């Protein structure tokens, strides 16, 4: 059977790591370390399961589907496939994910060195213009993205992280702090939920296509071989992510001896300044900027390729230019405004994405019955839409009563039981229709 060379697989794996590793992946683990305290290890295990496991599973599922996200969505309905795919790419692309990457890079690499309290609008504009100019240059030629990201940027990113972490181990001797209320009762479950809130599972729907394309560029392989090579690359990326999560999380736990911090970003900034002074803050800025840059490159390329497939008569470069310019404009609206608008959309998309990924992975066990997909996605979608409306500020007593009555809602999994019931109901419906000799329109 054909396969890639070890060096080729390693390069693609490092590229996938760099695509996943955005600023959020740096900020969540240290805050978990501070909050979990003595319960750090079970909490971090839960975080790794969903922060690494679910995205890896999603990338593999995408490699199994010939048409990517659209193919998976078509198992529900062709119209749903188009709407869902567009919503995924636009939300993690120019409407949210890409602008956020530029904003976070600015907030942690440039803003700490500016005067406090002043207006930074002009500086933000200059920074984002330079940021997106570089992003545009790299994404103009996707065939070279593997070499540019996997061979150069990823090793630099990892080296910078290792230097910061090693410094913390030598200069910080603090033991784990007190366990916060959030992590006291069920640290694994809390870490589990924090992990999937990184939103990497949604991003994996886009990044999976890039990985499959990179594998196919290296060697002509059959679908099963592509899945196997994608899994190998995914494991490499997963090991890298898990290593960073654990080490940066430990750094956050040790920083508890220096006081309490309001978020992971302040923990990282304080630790860098404490250990290395201004050079440390510059190092942190380098880490965050590289992380944000590689994520933005992957999202611009993935979104442009998706739009090009939807409208093949429009050249890829046109979409690349449009996505980059829209992202530049939205980035200058400010981070808080971007998040306030986008979070409700992500709350709607994330449960639907998880349901689709899990069903696609288990497809052979229920023989791809469309009723299972329709029932599970419809039920999960209804709950997530109501939850999204609540987050957006549209709510009523009846809506709140319904949400609070759902099992696991307070843990962020209120959609889980409805999805299970909906999938089972869809499976029973398909069986009843088949037993009467009718065709449930499974295609």
Domain containing 196 — which CATH number? Answer: 1.20.1740.10
Query: For residue 147, is pLDDT > 70?
Result: no
Number of domains in the chain: 2
Closest alpha carbon to 90 in 299, 296, 292, 294 = 299
Q: What percent of the chain has pLDDT over 90?
A: 31
Name the most confidently modeled range: 158-162, 216-220, 253-257, 428-432: 428-432
pLDDT at 394: 83
Instruction: Give yes or no: residues 186 and 256 share one domain.
Output: yes
Instruction: Give yes or no: residues 219 and 320 share one domain.
Output: yes
Instruction: Give the end of a domain, one of 285, 319, 336.
Output: 336
Instruction: Give yes or no: residues 375 and 443 share one domain.
Output: yes
Instruction: Give the end of a domain, one of 301, 336, 371.
Output: 336
Answer whether residue 352 is part of any domain: no
**Alpha-carbon distance 356 to 68, whole Å?**
12
Residue 389 burial (C-beta neighbours within 10 Å; 0-12, 13-18, 19+) = middle
Query: For residue 194, is pLDDT > 90?
Result: no
Instruction: Give yes or no: residues 184 and 234 share one domain.
Output: yes
Instruction: Give yes or no: residues 286 and 202 share one domain.
Output: yes
> Cα–Cα distances in Å, from 431 out to 355, 423, 435?
21, 12, 6
pLDDT at 442: 47
**Alpha-carbon distance 79 to 270, whole Å?**
49
Q: What is the rounded average pLDDT of the residues 18-32?
A: 81
Query: For residue 441, is pLDDT > 70?
Result: no
pLDDT at 324: 96
Q: What is the rounded average pLDDT of the residues 412-437?
A: 88
Answer whether residue 116 is part of any domain: yes
Instruction: Give yes or no: residues 102 and 36 share one domain.
Output: yes
Binned at pLDDT 50, 70 and 90, residue 175 comes out as: confident
Instruction: Give the end of a domain, one of 336, 371, 393.
Output: 336
Query: For residue 153, is pLDDT > 70?
Result: no
Maximum distance among all Cα pairs of the chain, rounded to whole angstroms: 75
pLDDT at 408: 83
Instruction: Give yes or no: residues 328 and 374 share one domain.
Output: no
Answer whether residue 305 is part of any domain: yes
Instruction: State pTM to two decimals.
Output: 0.81
Binned at pLDDT 50, 70 and 90, residue 151 comes out as: low
Q: Which domain, by its residues, includes 419? A: 362-443
Instruction: Give yes or no: residues 368 and 313 share one domain.
Output: no
């Amino acid at each position: 059977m054909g396969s890639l060379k070890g060096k080729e697989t390693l390069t693609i794996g490092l590229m996938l790591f760099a695509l996943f590793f955005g600023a959020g992946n740096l900020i969540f683990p240290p805050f978990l370390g501070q909050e979990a305290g003595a319960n750090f290890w079970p909490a971090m295990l839960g975080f790794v399961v969903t922060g690494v496991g679910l995205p890896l599973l999603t990338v593999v599922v995408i490699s199994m589907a010939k048409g990517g996200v659209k193919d998976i969505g078509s198992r529900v309905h062709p119209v749903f496939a188009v709407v869902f795919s567009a919503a995924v790419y636009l939300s993690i692309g120019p409407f949210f994910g890409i602008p956020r990457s530029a904003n976070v890079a600015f907030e942690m690499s440039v803003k700490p060195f500016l005067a406090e309290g002043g207006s930074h609008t002009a500086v933000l504009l200059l920074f984002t213009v330079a940021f997106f100019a570089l992003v545009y240059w790299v994404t103009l030629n996707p065939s070279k993205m593997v070499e540019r990201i996997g061979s150069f940027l990823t090793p630099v990113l990892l080296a910078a992280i290792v230097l910061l972490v090693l410094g913390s181990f030598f200069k910080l001797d603090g033991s784990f702090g007190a366990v916060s209320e959030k992590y006291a009762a069920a640290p694994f479950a809390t870490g589990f939920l924090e992990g999937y809130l990184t939103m990497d599972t949604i991003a994996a729907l886009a990044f999976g296509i890039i990985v499959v394309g990179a594998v196919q560029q290296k060697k002509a392989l059959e679908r099963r071989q592509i899945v196997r090579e994608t899994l190998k690359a995914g494991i490499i990326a997963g090991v890298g992510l898990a290593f960073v999560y654990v080490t940066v999380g430990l750094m956050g736990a040790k920083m508890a001896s220096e006081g309490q911090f309001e978020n992971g970003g302040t923990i990282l900034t304080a630790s860098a300044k404490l250990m290395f002074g201004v050079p440390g803050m510059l190092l942190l800025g380098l880490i965050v900027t590289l992380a944000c840059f590689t994520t933005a490159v992957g999202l611009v390329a993935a979104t442009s390729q998706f739009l090009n497939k939807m409208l093949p008569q429009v050249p890829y470069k046109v979409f690349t230019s449009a996505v980059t310019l829209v992202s530049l404009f939205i980035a200058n609206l400010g981070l808080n405004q971007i998040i306030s608008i986008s979070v409700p959309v992500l709350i709607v998309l994330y449960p639907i994405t998880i349901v689709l990924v899990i069903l696609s992975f288990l497809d052979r066990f229920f023989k791809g019955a469309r009723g299972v997909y329709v029932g599970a996605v419809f039920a999960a979608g209804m709950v997530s839409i109501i939850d999204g409306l609540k987050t957006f500020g549209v709510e009523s007593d009846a809506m709140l009563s319904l949400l609070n009555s759902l099992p696991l809602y307070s843990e962020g999994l209120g959609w889980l039981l409805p999805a299970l019931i909906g999938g089972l109901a869809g499976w029973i419906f398909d069986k009843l229709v088949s037993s009467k000799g009718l065709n449930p329109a499974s295609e």
